[in-house]
Amino acid sequence: MLRVWMFSTLWLLAFSLAAAPRILLTEDELAWVEAHPVIRVGVEQQGWPPFDVMDPQGRHTGISGDYLTLVGERLGVRFLPVIVDSWVGALADLEAGRLDVLPSVAITPKRLSRMSFTSPYLRSSSLLITRADKSYQRVDALSGARVAVEKGFAAEYMLKSRVPDVIIQSVESSEEALRAVSSGRADAYIGDMIAASYLIRKLNLNNLELRGEAGLNTSEFHFAVRKDWPELLVLMDKALASLTNDEQQEVKDRWLPHLTEFNWHRLLQLAWPYLLGTLVLITLILFWNRRLAEQIAERKAAEAEADLQRTKLLTLINAIPDPIWFKDSAGRYAGLNIACAELFGLSRKAIIGKTDQQLLSTDWATMRAQDDREALSDEQPNNREEPVVYPDGRSVIFDTVRTVIRDEQGASLGLVGISRDITARKQAEETVLAAKEMAEQAARMKSDFLANMSHEIRTPMNAILGMSHLALRGATESRQRNYLSQIQQAGQHLLEIINDVLDFSRIEANGLRIEHVEFELQTVLENLATLLGHKAGQKGLELVFDIEPQVPEKLVGDPLRIAQILINFCNNAIKFTPHGEVCLSVRVVRSEAGEQQLEFAVSDTGIGLTEEQISRLFQSFQQGDSSTTRQYGGTGLGLAISKRLAEAMHGAVGVSSKVGEGSVFWFRLTLQAQSIQPSCQALYQGLRVLLLDDHERARACVTRLLEQQGFEVHAVDSHAAVLQALQVAESSYDLLIIDYDVAGMDAIDLARQIQALNLQSVPPMLLMSGYCEDSVFIRAESAGYVSVLAKPVLANMLQEVLSTALNLQSSDDGQMTISPQPQTADFSGLRILLVEDNPINRELVIGLLQGTGLHIDQAENGAVALSRMRAMGADYYDLVLMDMQMPVMDGIRATQAIRQMFEFEHLPIVALTANVQAEDEALCLQAGMNDFLSKPLEPESVESCLQRWLRPQASLSPNQQRQADLPSELVLPGVNIAAGLRRVQGNVELYLRLLLRFAISQGRFPEHLRAALAESDQACAARLTHTFKGLTGSLGATKLQGQAVALDAALNDPQGDLVTSLLTALEVELTSLCGAIIHAFPSHQAVVEPAEPVDAEQVIEVCEQMISLLEADDPRACKVFEHQAAILQSVLGNQQGLFYAAINSYDFAAALVQLRGAMSLRGLKM
């Protein structure tokens, strides 16, 4: 019985031990357990293998799950798994009390304050895992790398603290992290060793390698318990402590079998360096003796090679012809080549070990020692040029370079020096310097020559241009004006060449001054139009100015240099364009901060250029090729000067061209903008204009200008289109603008056709013309045009003419209005002293100042001027015009002497000189002169200078100046003299000549018209009548003009019944007027009474001479008439006045008719 009881007791004991008996709990603990039989455990859906695994039946297994099973058995509670979305959410739920326990939790400082932790139930390490092709071995090497870490895990915080600039990729699970590394989306993974090893094997991620421990922390896994359930924490710690080692090992073996497998491959990876080292060590021991023998042999061979190399080096150094030497730190020679030994005149053995003080003279040794010390102290290569005398007396100059020699530790061992013989180079430098001085002297001589040449040429040019200007002011006959104009144009051309040469000289000498003054671009362009319009018109070219509306009206820059470039470009375009157009365009390229970059471009339809020609264009004295110079002329300096001028103004030039199509020359400048062109649209808003121009670009430019003024423009390109538009629109146009020459048709004829349309009212008509000569004005007015608009058309010019034309619409007489002429200042009562040695120049200045009211005294040189000024006193002269170069005393010395006299301290002195160099102007101002006028003198410059220094009493218009010579009692039948004078701008002399010429040329108009009608030459009759009508209108012969208009209309009438009666009445009126003209001006008839009877042979001889000169249109006929007036009087009789008028107006054909007629009446035969 006892035996059975003992057996039963032992069986029960064994059964209780096998059933994992519960631990002993206190009454409070038992009560708590009874109150909480179910404990909620948070587990992610995918779990965290092998720690937390959810099986298909929803049971929580894995290492942590099995541990909880054992703990539950010990405590008598059930751990219920609750699925959570994420680990971060699980932590939040535990803290909020929605979960009671979390498995597999690591402790962090942040978590300690929010939850409680059991004792660790498992320890592991954090590993660094990468792809096999990555080289990361340590965590510190992950700077800038992409590292995958489970979201919410402690490794994320620790890694960021360890490597601040790492790029952390937070993922939801370890599996997702490992797959990211395997696929390359991440560079590395740091996580738990157990979980990572398990998943790598399970997922077959063979391209991943374990690089080693991360070193962030040793993972201890705890169960996290709600902070408010400390009882559960105590119970779970008791249960975990009660687990046996076998139970724990059983759990580990169940889930971590791979960790117990022996990895021979890994062992080989880790052990092969040691094995290889062992093998190498054994091999070294085995071959040690043999290697020692080989080293001995190698050392001997190296020593032999070193000796060979040393010998080669010495041979190489000795072959160098430059002295080379080595010194130690004490200055003793340690080595040198043969060239250096020759310098000392000793052997190398005698030099080595010695210093310069022992080998050289004291001065030379001291100098070399100083150079050595500088090289050692500067620690940089030291260069020094030094003269040296060889022992044989040969002198050379050495350029010696010294540098420090250092050992491997950087310690100074001494100096090495190389001396190069530079004697030949120094001699060459001296030669170059001498050549440079010669070139500079030649440049100075050239500059002096150009200055002297300029003075010598400008002095006679001053007289030529000035006198031709004065002659043109009084000349009225077209042939006479033509001769004078050609003289002036030739003189201007020569002056342009001189200016080009001087400008180029200034540029080469950097003596060109660029001004920065405010100027109006329209003024520059108007001057260009005046200079270029006639030249383009003579070649039949259309000159167009195309200016963008955005271009400012006022700019700051150098207007003279800008105009000079444009003139060069335009002159070239006109010269090389046989037909077509030349267009100057200005546009804004860039606008910023009050500055505008403008592009000036000159395009043409000329001969064009090849690329090879373009490459030479902007060089001095170069044109397209030599044939260009022969055919077109020119110096070849214009473009070179333009390029230099543009660059001096910080601009750029360029050209584009095609052979046979034309060229575009441009330059760009950045200029300060002062103001934008004002808009005048309000003045003419709503007015309609009919514009006729057959040139497309010119028509577009004028259209744009008119539209800017507010006009509504209808532009056409033919006479027929104008007539059609007027007939359709009738009087709806407010203004007609008609080009002078459209497809070879005359605008004068078009005006007649417009007037013949019988419109209710003919709009005011403007004539556009590039030929703004007197004949154009006369023909335009006779045809009914109210004004003439010069081409190319500019905004200011257009606005001025428009205001005149539209104001004339209500005019009573319908006559064409002349723009007011510039007024001449009245200096009456003022006195100037002209100091000039050249009598022609004195006469020129007096002529230019005629009409100003000035009293002019003359002096031939500075000495005469001083004497006269002393004699007259301080307040006698108001201004002195002083030539610079004069005999006896030049202008500089005379000015200096004047300034030394205190009474003339403030007297204005203006220099007159043909020297236009900047230094000449500076010399004048330094001597005490106040202003500077360069020869040839320009009338505008002279008057502007006088107005700067003198106070004019008033201003006289040209009409006022010339009206004084008109006899107050002058009356001509049927002539409105005031109207005629208005048409010649008040020039009485011109008006008188026109009257005389009319009497001579039109006196036989009725006879010529009857002859044309008798021959049925209607075209000739119409031309004669048209010319007669225009001339009568120009002279103000209103009665004759009306008769001519009626006669012209009658000629156009097919019946022609009124022509005879109208012509008879006109002839009576014409005869009366011509007679009145001839007798009204006896002073112009040059009647000379012969002093004594004239020899008949002498009369015939003089007539023959005069006739031959008149037939040849030789101006010397005027001189012959002056000298032989008495003889010719005997032949001409009372016709001498008409003959004189014809001669004086250069109408040699009319004079020839007069003379032959007079000789025929007197029976004189040649």
Q: Are 1141 and 476 in contact (CB under 8 A)?
A: no
pLDDT tens by residue, 261-284: 445 555 566 667 888 888 888 888
Whose tokens are 């052979």? That residue is 659
Q: Which tokens in the block code for residue 54?
A: 């959810």
Residues 6+ apart with CB under 8 A from 72: 39, 78, 79
Structure confidence at residue 16 (pLDDT)? 41
- Architecture of domain 963-1082 in this structure: Up-down Bundle (1.20)
**CA-based end-to-end distance of the chain:** 200
- Pick from 157-166, 170-179, 233-242, 475-484: least confident: 475-484
Structure confidence at residue 895 (pLDDT)? 94
pTM of the predicted model as reported, rounded to 2 decimal places: 0.41
Quick one: pLDDT band at residue 414, thresholds 50, 70, 90? confident
- The upper half-sphere exposure of residue 1041, i.e. CA atoms within 13 Å in the direction of its Cβ, equals 21
**956 pLDDT exceeds 70?**
no
Residues 6+ apart with CB under 8 A from 1152: 1107, 1110, 1111
pLDDT tens by residue, 534-551: 778 778 888 999 999 889
DSSP for 660-712 reads TTEEEEEEEEEEEEEEEPPP-HHHHTT-EEEEE-S-HHHHHHHHHHHHHTT-E
Homologous superfamily (CATH) for 824-955: Response regulator (3.40.50.2300)
Whose tokens are 């008033």? That residue is 954
The domain segmentation of the chain, as residue ranges, is 23-261, 262-304, 320-421, 513-676, 683-810, 824-955, 963-1082, 1085-1161
Q: Which tokens in the block code for residue 699?
A: 């028509």
Report cis status (omega within 30 of 0) of the bond before 321.
no
- Architecture of domain 23-261 in this structure: 3-Layer(aba) Sandwich (3.40)
Structure confidence at residue 1140 (pLDDT)? 67
pLDDT tens by residue, 734-769: 889 998 888 767 888 888 888 888 777 778 888 888
Q: In what order do the strands lie in the sheet with 382-389?
A: 333-336, 324-328, 412-421, 395-406, 382-389
Q: Which tokens in the block code for residue 527?
A: 């001057």
- Pick from 7-16, 534-543, 1034-1043: least confident: 7-16
> pLDDT exceeding 70 applies to what percent of the chain?
78
- Most confident segment among 171-185, 803-817, 907-921, 1071-1085: 171-185
Average pLDDT over residues 845-859: 80
Detail the DSSP E strand segments found in 132-171.
Answer: 146-150, 167-171
- Pick from 19-23, 138-142, 1145-1149: least confident: 19-23
Q: Strand, helix or coil at 556?
A: strand
Q: Strand, helix or coil at 1148?
A: helix
pLDDT tens by residue, 1151-1166: 787 788 788 777 777 6
**555 pLDDT exceeds 70?**
yes
Quick one: pLDDT band at residue 987, thresholds 50, 70, 90? low
Structure confidence at residue 8 (pLDDT)? 45
CATH number 3.30.540.10 given to 683-810: no
- The upper half-sphere exposure of residue 940, i.e. CA atoms within 13 Å in the direction of its Cβ, equals 1
Four-residue CA torsion sign, 983, 989, 991, 994: negative
Report cis status (omega within 30 of 0) of the bond before 164.
no
Structure confidence at residue 1138 (pLDDT)? 63
Q: Are 198 and 47 in contact (CB under 8 A)?
A: no
Structure confidence at residue 265 (pLDDT)? 58
- Architecture of domain 320-421 in this structure: 2-Layer Sandwich (3.30)
Closest CA to 570 of 486, 639, 633: 639
- How many CB atoms are located within 10 Å of the residue 802 CB? 25
Work out the mean pLDDT of the chain and round it to a whole number. Answer: 78
| Domain 513-676 identical in fold to domain 683-810 | no
Average pLDDT over residues 980-1005: 68
Structure confidence at residue 1 (pLDDT)? 42
Q: Strand, helix or coil at 258?
A: helix
- Most confident segment among 288-302, 710-724, 825-839, 1086-1100: 710-724
Structure confidence at residue 835 (pLDDT)? 93
- How many CB atoms are located within 10 Å of the residue 794 CB? 22
**809 pLDDT exceeds 50?**
no
In DSSP terms, 675 is beta-bridged to 554
As to burial, measured by CB atoms within 10 angstroms (0-12 exposed, 13-18 middle, 19+ buried), residue 423 is: middle
Structure confidence at residue 266 (pLDDT)? 52
Residue type, 411: A
**1108 pLDDT exceeds 90?**
no
**1086 pLDDT exceeds 50?**
no
Question: Residue 604 to residues 153, 551, 562, 581, 921: CA-CA distances in angstroms?
Answer: 82, 22, 19, 6, 39
Residues 6+ apart with CB under 8 A from 952: 825, 826, 827
For 513-676, CATH gives 3.30.565.10
SS3 percent helix, strand, coil of the chain, rounded to 5, is: 55, 20, 30
pLDDT tens by residue, 302-343: 888 877 877 777 777 777 888 888 888 888 888 888 888 887
Q: Strand, helix or coil at 577?
A: coil
**834 pLDDT exceeds 90?**
yes
